Chain A
Amino acid sequence: EAQVTQNPRYLITVTGKKLTVTCSQNMNHEYMSWYRQDPGLGLRQIYYSMNVEVTDKGDVPEGYKVSRKEKRNFPLILESPSPNQTSLYFCASSARGARKGDTQYFGPGTRLTVL
């Protein structure tokens, strides 16, 4: 079954404690992306990757890191989480990019709370 998986689905942590949210897709997609969803702000893109070893900043990259060492995985790293990073995070992937009708598949979301 084609899917995007994220782990963990729920996480409560404390300020400053490094964490990683993993994202994996089994569709051999080149493009992967991270978003956060906040009430009243909709979805905002954090980082995206057009292919292995190619990453670019989205609209709200501050406080986040990503890496794309292999095609299927695109982890999101919070080196020193802060309460303003409490949010619902979505990972997504598509074959070649976000345009030209390439369907972007989203993961189920990770709800992160930083105390």
Chain B
Amino acid sequence: DQQVKQNSPSLSVQEGRISILNCDYTNSMFDYFLWYKKYPAEGPTFLISISSIKDKNEDGRFTVFLNKSAKHLSLHIVPSQPGDSAVYFCAAILNYGGSQGNLIFGKGTKLSVKP
């Protein structure tokens, strides 16, 4: 049973517009969420994170929103740039027994930003 779901395998956006990547989760024990970006032939790189006690975190062009009641988070990229074209993974950490290491990823969304 997939606990972190990214239901859109791909997303295409025009340069300069907003990209919105969505992520849903099922386990209410998740208390920390992260977004990673991955280019082909490279390892993922950390993008932005949010604790479950917050509903928004911003870092430059990237903002993550968390709706705990809906078990939903989203990543907004404004404005989108062609260099943002990559696969984006949503990930969650389980706060179960104090574990800080069990990281569960979604399947990823491939973002294409067209010039």
Using a CB–CB cutoff of 8 Å, the interface residues on chain A facing chain B are 4, 31, 33, 35, 40-45, 48-50, 56, 58-59, 90, 92, 96-101, 103-109
> Would A98 and B93 count as touching, CB distance under 8 A?
yes
> Within the complex, what minimum Cβ distance (angstroms) separates B60 from chain A?
15
Of B32, B34, B43, B105, which one neighbours A109 at CB under 8 angstroms? Answer: B43
Contacts of A59 in B (CB 8 A): 102, 104
> Would A107 and B107 count as touching, CB distance under 8 A?
no
> Would B44 and A98 count as touching, CB distance under 8 A?
no
Contacts of B108 in A (CB 8 A): 42-43
Distance, CA A33 to CA B99, complexed state (A) = 13
> Would B89 and A43 count as touching, CB distance under 8 A?
yes
Closest to A6 in B: B43
Number of interface residues of B (CB under 8 A): 24
Closest to B32 in A: A99
Using a CB–CB cutoff of 8 Å, the interface residues on chain B facing chain A are 6, 32, 34, 36, 41-46, 49, 89, 91, 93, 99-108
Of A40, A98, A100, A108, which one neighbours B107 at CB under 8 angstroms? Answer: A40
Given contacts A42-B106, A99-B100, A101-B49, contact A106 B44 (CB under 8 A): yes
> Would B43 and A4 count as touching, CB distance under 8 A?
yes
> Within the complex, what minimum Cβ distance (angstroms) separates B55 from chain A?
17
Contacts of B43 in A (CB 8 A): 4, 90, 92, 105-109
Given contacts A106-B45, A108-B43, contact A48 B93 (CB under 8 A): no
> Would A56 and B105 count as touching, CB distance under 8 A?
no
Contacts of A90 in B (CB 8 A): 43-44
> Would A50 and B101 count as touching, CB distance under 8 A?
yes
Contacts of A45 in B (CB 8 A): 102-105
> Would B42 and A98 count as touching, CB distance under 8 A?
no
Given contacts A48-B101, A90-B44, contact A99 B106 (CB under 8 A): no
